[in-house]
A and B are shown apart, each in its own frame.
Chain A
Amino acid sequence: MDAIEVLSNVLASTLRLATPLILAAMAGLLSFQVGLVNIALEGLMLTGAFVAVAVGFIIGSTWVGILAACVIGALLAALFSIFVTDLRANLIVSGLAVNFLAAGGTAYLIQIIFHASGTFAPPELESLTAAQIPILSSLPFFGKVFFSHTPLVYVSWLVIPLVGLFLYKTPAGIHIRAIGDDIEAARTAGIAVRKMQYLALMLGGGLCGLAGAHLAVGDLALFRENMTAGRGFIALAAVYFAAGRPRSAALACLLFGLFEALQFRLQMTSSTPPQFFQMLPYVIVVLMLTLISIRKEWKKGW
């Protein structure tokens, strides 16, 4: 394999691996902007992955499964919102509860419904097929990198500007950001705080469902216990890193995606133990969080 081909492979898988991160980061961004730190991204994603496979298999349609993942993601986020807004539950602790519920619930249900343990990979369920964009996909190099992906990859690219538009150009988005800025002032100004928090969290839940669906049926068609493997937290770190700006968050996700892609690549070719490459994305998150903190402290005059 020549260098160009290796490069195009790595870049293409970067975009593919960044997709669930981008979708989840946009979800995290919506809650960040409404002033809620969303620890639950991980659990929402895992639920989405499970629902996409389970419903897709039962109905016999991958796309129905993906739709269901969105809906259930939004509903689980609604449950989270009830706890956080109406019941005044502790935000971090209830986020943790959502994650436990998702991990335990999905592991429980694959055994109860499908009598599978650990992994459920129904051969009847089809994964998404790559949508080759006409003409563009036949371009040398770029065709492979950018235009030969499964549909959800393109969806994730659309979601970035859409979330930006929503937050900065629509009344609801502006209200959401106002709440994040100063919740008391927003309340005094007559903004429906509770409603907006529900909206932000539920939209995020839908996006997380989509993110999980991409993990589950984007390339393969299977659900594995804890298959999200911390991606929800990586997405959350991208939001912190970007200080809530959609484009920067997406860039951070691409960077994480690149490290993940490199990790897979290097594992195949290098003699360095694979564990070090597997650590890479997590170490990078810690380093990035450290960097932004240094930058912040620097600005404050260290």
Chain B
Amino acid sequence: MRILMDQALNIARMLITLLLALLIGGVIIQLSGKDAVNAYQVVWNSAFGNDRAIANTLLAATPLIFTGLATLVAFRAGIFNVGVEGSLYVGAFAAAWVGFTFTQLPGTILISLAFVVGGIVGGLWSLIPGYLKARLRVDEIVTTIMLNYVAILFTDYLVNGPFLVPGMANAMSLEVAPQAQLARIVPKSQWNISFFIALAIFVLVLLLIWRTTLGYEIRSVGTNPIFSRSSGMPVGRIILEVMFLSGFIGGLAGAGQALGVHYRFVAGFSRGLGFDGIVVALLGRNSPVGVLISALFFGALRNGSSSMEMFTQIPRDLIDILIAIIIFFVAIDLGFNWLLKRLVPQTITPPTIQPSTVD
């Protein structure tokens, strides 16, 4: 009951944050000499106006569900993984590689293999900063950001070098085998079944966090690292597992885009899907349900903003400004929670585990 109340309260806060951001965004549009009401109408119509619009919103939300969950898993363990973008790139390439290399395999197997390989490669990539943090205590924020650039450049090299397709105008890999191309659901929309894979991962993350030992350890390390360490939890190992998992989900995001949208790896295709995942996780207040809702919201915004740019000449970069406003609100709120904890320390219940090694 208490959890349900908390959830409802979280969702209410989230909606208020969104409304405020949209309101400020409206003011910015007006100040730019455009009509805010009209702009939002265009966004609404092209995000929800008909079947195809809704499909495109779900299409845009799909990678954000993945990257949001990937970020969330790390956040829950108190790790600020900004490197989902990098995992997404290497994962997308790996999945595309499987897709255009093992062309004789039947569809289901090929698709599963591509996703698993994409995930594993994404996970291994994120183990680099994970290992540095777990074993050498290198702060993960800067390393993960740096490694994003490396991943983007490295995959760019791959499709310009060893996997160069002669005669192609843009840097991209071969097309994946037809049976590896994910089925699309609505005519004239790229919305594809990777959306349902994202939903499956959502359920798995939910189960992981609340029903498994690792989930328990993640929550414990995230809320109270010192206590967890002194109570004998293998914090280093947990960090490694979490970083692998986070990168794995990030890699799946890349696989979904490669097999479902582009049918190949395209250099520089993401343009910040991983970063949007951070915002999705923040706005979703670190709960999987919150991530799902905010991914859908951002999907609608991203999808609607293209039409907004086309019909009202308002740059779609407005969305990034809205995102900044939303993060500011979330940041205040996080600070506020911290303040509450400081003011009323007796209300927080420490994790109820028996310290196994008190020495």
Contacts and interface: CB of A to CB of B under 8 A. Distances in A.
Interface of A: 39, 83, 87-90, 92-94, 96-98, 100-101, 103-105, 107-108, 111-112, 117, 229-230, 233-234, 236-237, 240, 273, 275-276, 278-279, 282-283, 285-286, 289-290, 293-294, 296-297
B137 A286 contact: no
Given A275-B153, A275-B154, A93 B282 contact: yes
27 contacts: A83-B331, A90-B335, A93-B327, A94-B328, A96-B278, A100-B320, A100-B323, A100-B324, A100-B327, A101-B320, A105-B317, A105-B321, A107-B315, A107-B320, A108-B320, A112-B315, A229-B149, A230-B145, A237-B142, A273-B157, A278-B153, A282-B149, A285-B146, A286-B150, A289-B138, A289-B143, A296-B137
Interface in B317-359: 317-325, 327-328, 330-332, 334-336, 338-339
Contacts, number: 140
Contacts of B150: 279, 282-283, 286
Contact of B147 (A39, A97, A112, A282): A282
A50 to B, nearest CB: 12
Contacts of A105: 317, 320-321, 324
B328 A89 contact: yes
Contacts of B331: 83, 89-90, 93-94, 96-97
B320 A96 contact: no
A49 B321 CA distance: 18
Given A97-B328, A98-B324, A285-B146, 12 more contacts: A90-B338, A93-B327, A93-B334, A101-B320, A104-B322, A105-B317, A237-B146, A240-B142, A275-B154, A276-B157, A285-B142, A293-B138
Q: Is the interface of B mostly helix, strand, loop or mixed?
A: helix
Given A88-B338, A90-B335, A97-B327, A111 B146 contact: no
B51 interface: no
B314 to A, nearest CB: 8
B330 A93 contact: yes
B175 interface: no
Nearest to A237: B142
Contact of A273 (B138, B161, B339): B161
A73 B141 CA distance: 23
Q: Is the interface of A mostly helix, strand, loop or mixed?
A: helix
B147 A108 contact: no
A262 to B, nearest CB: 16
B160 interface: yes
A171 to B, nearest CB: 29
A101 B161 contact: no
B167 to A, nearest CB: 19
A78 B75 CA distance: 28
A285 B143 CA distance: 8
Nearest to B336: A88
Contact of A87 (B137, B147, B156, B332): B332
A290 B129 CA distance: 10
A83 B328 CA distance: 8
Given A96-B327, A97-B324, A237-B142, A286 B335 contact: no
